[in-house]
Amino acid sequence: MSNELSSRIFRDDTAARAWLETHLWPGGPVCGHCGTLNQATALETRPGWYQCNACRKQFSVTVGTLFERSHIPLSKWLMAAFLLCASKKGISTHQMHRMIGVSYKSTWVMMHRLREAARDGTLPGPLGGQNKVVEVDETYVGGKESNKHKAKRQKGQQGGKGKAPVLSLVERGGKVRSRHVANVSGGTLRDVMVTQIDRASYLMTDEAPQYAKIGDEFEGHGTVNHSAEEYVRAYFWHTNTVEGFFSILKRGITGVYHHVSEQHLHRYLCEFDFRYNERSALGVDDKARAAKLLSGITGKRLTYRRTGERANVEA
């Protein structure tokens, strides 16, 4: 994929399809019905389509993917993926709709489908491990602008009015995993932490009481007192990594997406986690990030309703 928006794959559907085939099928066509590899015959009468020699069904590169049955041209899908991956804080549906020339409603559906592609569908193992530090913190996102400054004060309570609690786990020098949680009680936080973090990890949190007991279950537990002088007490004892991630997340949710309903929040978290995990500091450039996102359109079912989705969650 070129990093220039003038690339043919962003305006020519045949080029877009060829790019996607090369990218998703490095070993030859894979039947979207039965999964048979490289045992298909190209259909001369139907460009981009193949007949599987095993199950005899016809398929294209998008059959069995998140792009299946979409009426949006493939070139538009690739451009949308590239733009979403190149925008650190995300990109509003309105702006995307203007830039790619697809209706607002269709753009809204496309963006949620790309967020689904961003979801890590590989059942990844736990974060951290021996000699690794995992920072954990919770924040509140969404809701009205006027509530924004109350978020930090609401810490430790059962969620703020109109705001949704998010728990993020970040391995230093590694990846982030964010979850929309029902509340920030010790039990809820523990459920996420003990399943997502290797117990050989060194845990780093603030002094919220919920973490005290959970910390005993890990190799070590350091705490940072936000309110004291020791905010950046030392090279080691800090939660700057997870706070840095929250900073990007909040600027995106508040400044770009404006309003994110609790119903859809987990999808936006997939988007922000994905960009962070494929960040340039780890050597991933915009085009590689978009290619990675597009590889995520396979192996996923559409888990949301295809019709009746309301397109009014973003201002």
**Contact residues for Zn ion (CB under 5 A)?**
31, 33-34, 36, 52, 54-55
**Considering beta carbons, is residue 8 or 33 the nearer one to Zn ion?**
33
- CB 37, min distance to Zn ion, A: 10
Phi-psi group of 156: left, alpha or beta (phi > 0 → left; psi -120 to 50 → alpha; rest → beta)? left
- CB 18, min distance to Zn ion, A: 21
- CB 40, min distance to Zn ion, A: 8
**Considering beta carbons, is residue 53 or 295 the nearer one to Zn ion?**
53
DSSP string, 276-311: HHT-GGGT--HHHHHHHHHHTTBS----S-SSS---
In contact, 89 and 251? CB cutoff 8 Å:
yes
Phi-psi group of 189: left, alpha or beta (phi > 0 → left; psi -120 to 50 → alpha; rest → beta)? alpha
**Do β-strands 50-52 and 40-42 pair in parallel, antiparallel, or remain unpaired?**
antiparallel
- CB 68, min distance to Zn ion, A: 15
**Considering beta carbons, is residue 40 or 189 the nearer one to Zn ion?**
40
As a whole number of angstroms, the distance between CA 292 and CA 296 comes to 7
**Considering beta carbons, is residue 52 or 297 the nearer one to Zn ion?**
52
As a whole number of angstroms, the distance between CA 295 and CA 297 comes to 6
**Considering beta carbons, is residue 55 or 86 the nearer one to Zn ion?**
55
Question: Element (H or E) spanning 14, and its range?
Answer: helix 13-24
- CB 63, min distance to Zn ion, A: 10
